[in-house]
Amino acid sequence: MGKQINMRNVFDFVAVRAAGRRPGGFKTAICGGVIAVVALAGCAPADTEMAANYAQVSPEVGGPSVVRRLTRHQYRTIIKDLFGSSIVVGGPFEPDVRESGLLAVGASKVSIASTGLDGYNKMARIIAAQVFDEDHRGMLLGCEPANADEPDDACAREFLGRVGRLMYRRPLTDDELQSRVNVANESAKTRGNFYLGLETSLVTMLVSPNFLFVHESSEPDPLHAGLERLDAYSKAVRLSFFFWNNAPDEALLAAAEDGSLHTQKGLEAQVSRMLGSPQMESGIRAFFTDMLEFELFDTLSKDQVLFPKFNFTLAEAAKEQTLRTIVDHLLVKKGDYRGLYTTPNTFLTRPLAAVYQVPLSGLAKKWVPYEYPAGVQHAGILSQVSFVSLHSHPARTSPTLRGKALREVLLCQKVPDPPGAVNFDIIQDVTNVNFRTVRQRLDAHASEPMCVGCHKITDPMGLALENFDTIGGFRSSENGAPIDTSGSLDGIEFQDALGLGKAMHDNPATVSCLTDRVYSYGVGREPTAAESDWLKSVILKDFEASGYQVPALMKRIATSSPFFRINTAETNEGQQEALVSSKTNIQ
């Protein structure tokens, strides 16, 4: 790579924030008689609709701004959008962390260790080398240097300013842009090549916290003296990751720059545009991939002797089946969210059909829509391979794991961890002639006083799924004994998986949990106490009025004032300290 450029400390943005300054693109001005920090384009006109929106909600409803590390999926998506799908992104990512049920919340609780920065640095060098190789530079650069063997500050400035705006999700300040141009200039002189100099400068941007972290900035709220809101660019970023799980596009950045995003009309226009975009499917997929804990498939294994049909291809198809079902039901058909637990409609491939014992021979398409006949137990996403296999052991099912997942993942109810001294011998002994079914083994195990409490809130739900083995295949008996799938959920009794799906459909906690998860996903943290009250008293009722349509829920949240209001009484000091402790220089 030639001479290595010594970057300024990549975590100096924490000090900038601590000093009360913003990373760029804003100035102080007076709007409507209130001192405010506004976009460079100037003050937006007074907006009575936005003021009315704010007036409907108590000023206490809001929370802290956050600093979120990009997930590996977000990182890959942004690189693809910036430079094209032919750019290979390889290398180790820092592990994502699940917090409060979501990786999106965990992203605001993590930093990057020095070893992790080394990994991101190597990845950045691989990406930048591809961007400026002979196959890509002509398509991506947008200008030509006067002499390829020398620096060209004008061409470098044009490229770095354009790309930096999308990478940093805001315009670069004059100082930021000039420093990147200087890096390109110095490196081009040292390496005797304009493209290699620009490559070095791009590396420094790819490892900058302005790219690796979504850093939200706040400003005084002109509608409420003494309160704060997200600034326009942070607002654009929150919207974009909420709807698309991706960085803002040019249209959204332009709305932030001209101030229209701070008007109710401008906000609603952008939200409607994003809801109608093809990227909305990617956003829905990203949210449910997170909520349903699909990252666990990365380490999922099954006993290959007992279940030879399970392999990487089947695991990938299992995830895709559920996501296709969700997208079709929620976006294409604009269906009731609760219907995901009862719908007979799904999509199948031949490997999945073999597990479900559905004949698909002779069909050429890889994915085909399929509707289960009435009464078939496979209706609803709870009976799909993605759920029953993910929450089972490698060689046997687990009503406890499945029931625990139903409680924690889909109903937002915490199940206590088992005591450390529990003896699981009875459950694990699948050859015991006295306890041939899982229900019988669980009844014997749960009779112990230390076990009965937890099993009471998990097993009656999980046992309804016992017709599905550890990879989702249907069975009616275990060890020659008939399987009893009767159970109950919060006082509602049922006989099988179809009954469980109906009970989940009708349970108020099902929609309440989704409302909390969607909001947490959008703001990158748990709701504050005031936000939780607002979600229950206002947003949940509006969700019901919409027929429990998820796009309507997201729109209602994204056009509300609390989604962007910053409550400075809430702090994020622990996260800031974690970031500061990770300071390092990249060579």
Q: Which residue has the higher pLDDT, 67 or 43?
A: 67
Q: Look at phi and psi of residue 502 and say left if phi exceeds 0, alpha if psi is from -120 to 50, else beta.
A: alpha
Token readout for 402 is 């499945």
Token readout for 134 is 């002979």
Which band of pLDDT confidence, cut at 50, 70 and 90, is reported for residue 156?
very high
* Dihedral of alpha carbons 544, 547, 548, 552, sign: negative
The HSE-up count of residue 136 (CA atoms within 13 Å, CB side) is 17
Determine the pLDDT at residue 25. 36
Does 162 score more than 80 pLDDT? yes
Segment holding 553, helix H or strand E = helix 550-558
Interatomic CA distance for residues 532 and 438, integer angstroms: 39
The answer to whether 454 touches 415, Cβ cutoff 8 Å, is yes
The HSE-up count of residue 283 (CA atoms within 13 Å, CB side) is 26
Q: Which residue has the higher pLDDT, 56 or 13?
A: 56
Determine the pLDDT at residue 57. 64
Interatomic CA distance for residues 187 and 181, integer angstroms: 10
Does 340 score more than 60 pLDDT? yes
A 10 A CB-CB count for 223 gives 23
What's the whole-number mean pLDDT along residues 164-173?
Answer: 96
Interatomic CA distance for residues 118 and 129, integer angstroms: 17
> pLDDT tens across 252-284, in order?
999 999 999 999 999 999 999 999 999 999 999
Q: Which of 13, 78, 100, 76 has the alpha carbon at shortest distance from 576? A: 13
The answer to whether 83 touches 131, Cβ cutoff 8 Å, is yes
Q: Which of 274, 270, 268 has the alpha carbon at shortest distance from 53? A: 268
What's the whole-number mean pLDDT along residues 299-325?
Answer: 95
> pLDDT tens across 448-464, in order?
555 556 678 888 899 99
- Could you tell me what percent of the chain has a pLDDT over 90? 69
What's the whole-number mean pLDDT along residues 222-246?
Answer: 93
Which band of pLDDT confidence, cut at 50, 70 and 90, is reported for residue 424?
low
Residues in Cβ contact with 534 at an 8 Å cutoff, skipping those fewer than 6 apart: 57, 58, 61, 562
What's the whole-number mean pLDDT along residues 176-180?
Answer: 97
Residue 97's Cα: distance from chain center in Å? 11
A 10 A CB-CB count for 142 gives 12
Token readout for 369 is 């829509």
Which amino acid is located at 206 in the chain?
L
The answer to whether 380 touches 406, Cβ cutoff 8 Å, is no
Alpha helical stretches, state H, 19-152: 48-55, 72-83, 103-106, 114-131, 137-140
Interatomic CA distance for residues 509 and 496, integer angstroms: 20
Q: Which residue has the higher pLDDT, 33 or 339?
A: 339
Beta-bridged to residue 229, according to DSSP, are 219, 565
Kindly report the average pLDDT of the chain as a whole number.
85
Residue located via tokens 């029931």 = 403
Residues in Cβ contact with 488 at an 8 Å cutoff, skipping those fewer than 6 apart: 460, 461, 494, 503
* Dihedral of alpha carbons 9, 10, 13, 15, sign: negative
Which band of pLDDT confidence, cut at 50, 70 and 90, is reported for residue 360?
confident
Determine the pLDDT at residue 56. 61
What's the whole-number mean pLDDT along residues 218-245?
Answer: 92
The DSSP line for 392-434 is S-SSS--HHHHHHHIIIIIS----PPPPTT---HHHH-TT-TT
> pLDDT tens across 426-435, in order?
566 566 656 6
List the single range of 163-177, 260-274, 556-570 with lowest mean pLDDT: 556-570
Does 298 score more than 70 pLDDT? yes
What's the whole-number mean pLDDT along residues 479-483?
Answer: 87
List the single range of 143-152, 200-209, 314-323, 471-480 with lowest mean pLDDT: 471-480
Interatomic CA distance for residues 351 and 202, integer angstroms: 44
Residue 557's Cα: distance from chain center in Å? 16
Q: Which residue has the higher pLDDT, 422 or 174?
A: 174
Token readout for 351 is 């490997």
Residue located via tokens 């991101």 = 120
To 5 degrees, how large is the angle CA 161–CA 170–CA 5? 50
Interatomic CA distance for residues 101 and 513, integer angstroms: 10
Interatomic CA distance for residues 257 and 165, integer angstroms: 11
What's the whole-number mean pLDDT along residues 576-584?
Answer: 38
Q: Is 424 exposed, middle or buried (CB count within 10 Å of its CB: 0-12, 13-18, 19+)?
A: exposed
Interatomic CA distance for residues 62 and 531, integer angstroms: 6
Which amino acid is located at 450 in the chain?
M
Q: Which of 167, 92, 160, 91 has the alpha carbon at shortest distance from 132? A: 160
Determine the pLDDT at residue 106. 94
Reported pTM: 0.85
The DSSP line for 257-272 is HTSGGGSHHHHHHHHH
C-alpha separations of 242 from 266, 343, 494, 572 in Å: 17, 26, 37, 20
